Amino acid sequence: MNFDSLVARIKVWGRELGFQQIGISDTDLRADERRLEAWLERGYHGTMEYMHRHGSKRSRPQELVPGTLRVISARMDYLPETSSTAEAVLEQNETGYVSRYALGRDYHKVLRKALQKLAERIGADVGPFGYRVFVDSAPVLEKALARNAGLGWIGKHTNLINKDAGSWFFLGEFYTDLPLPVDTPAADHCGSCRACMDVCPTDAIVAPYRLDARRCISYLTIELRGSIPTEFRTAIGNRIYGCDDCQLVCPWNKFAQLSTQPDFAARHSLDDSSLLEFFAWTEEEFLAKTEGSAIRRIGYECWLRNVAVGLGNAESSEEVIDALRRRADHPSPLIREHTRWALEQHGIH
């Protein structure tokens, strides 16, 4: 079989299915394995036990799927058109900021479906072959594999950046037993820049390429289930789900394109609603408005926890104080504690 021409066809099919780029790598992740181990040893993963759980499977694709020879990585742009710019929302502290990746439909579903179709197309061409599709769904070092496949480099903020497309894209991949020719890994173009490190509100990028997730607003608002440490609450500002500051400041995002994927269009005014509107949602409204969205996974309790922190950082007003007072005796101790903290920020004890 001519694998060079197969790869050319795979890249064309990938674009037809909505991916901006496809690349192929082998499975050698030895240098990244050492860095992953050092990151875990320092405890930077916080409560994300799943980063530990699978041992070396994350950095050794053959241990996860025996027989894997190559990894086909794909990237899909997600930046949606929004009624206000990200910077404008971050400046208006009465509006809630939802990170750009979570404004539309859950990316896991969108990418998985497209990757599955790509695998089926390959199968129709080459006959039965071994593969397994992943989108942030298993112990896979997605960024390192995508870098090795030529899709971009891991920037100092630790996201993957592409020279022609910035970093506002998701990654997905499939492991396969096809002996495809590999792409050239992407080179690092951060140079002497350190804008992301300087802008990070919580100093989570503790050294270039080294993120202490326990300090990252994305972790604090999405992954952490308990109380948000008080030392970070003011810095969180109005960011109620994730954080984009390190990407917003990155000069390479000048080259980013808006997403063409209708699934990633902002839903339910998540791009432009006040903290008061979000805080007023009942559990039923939360479930209805986050149906099919990644936000749903944090649950209603953590949603109110996050919005309470945002309201603690908002301009003082009667409406803000009244809304917080209404939740101050909430049956959930987590919501009570964050609401009371927020009231204290407005001088109410």
Least distance from C-beta 222 to ligand B12, angstroms?
Answer: 6
In the complex with ligand SF4, the residue whose CB is nearer, 246 or 323, is 246
**Out of ligand B12, ligand SF4, none, which partner does residue 170 contact, by CB within 5 to 8 A per kind?**
ligand B12
Two tokens, residue 297: 């996974």
Interaction of residue 264 with ligand B12, rule CB under 6 A:
no
Whose CA is closest to 302, among 213, 219, 194, 205?
Answer: 219
**Residue with structure tokens 């080179």?**
187
**Out of ligand SF4, ligand B12, none, which partner does residue 276 contact, by CB within 5 to 8 A per kind?**
none
Active site residue 203: no
In the complex with ligand SF4, the residue whose CB is nearer, 70 or 215, is 215
Interaction of residue 39 with ligand B12, rule CB under 6 A:
yes
Least distance from C-beta 190 to ligand SF4, angstroms?
Answer: 3
Contact present, 272 and 89 (Cβ < 8 Å): yes
How many residues bind to ligand SF4 according to rule CB under 6 A?
25
CA–CA distance, 199 with 272 (Å, rounded to integer):
23
- Dihedral Cα 315, 218, 210, 115, nearest 10 deg: -150
In the complex with ligand B12, the residue whose CB is nearer, 174 or 219, is 219
In the complex with ligand SF4, the residue whose CB is nearer, 152 or 172, is 152
Considering only residues 207 to 246 of the shown chain, the ones binding ligand B12 according to CB under 6 A are: 209-211, 213, 216, 218-219, 222-223, 242-244, 246
Contacting residue, 103, 110, 114, 154, with ligand B12 by CB under 6 A: 154
Contact present, 185 and 147 (Cβ < 8 Å): yes
Contact present, 17 and 137 (Cβ < 8 Å): no
Minimal CB distance residue for ligand B12:
242
Contacting residue, 194, 297, 325, 326, with ligand SF4 by CB under 6 A: 194
In the complex with ligand SF4, the residue whose CB is nearer, 82 or 202, is 202
Interface ranges with ligand SF4 (CB under 6 A): 155-157, 161, 190, 193-196, 200-202, 204-205, 211, 216-218, 243, 245-246, 249-252
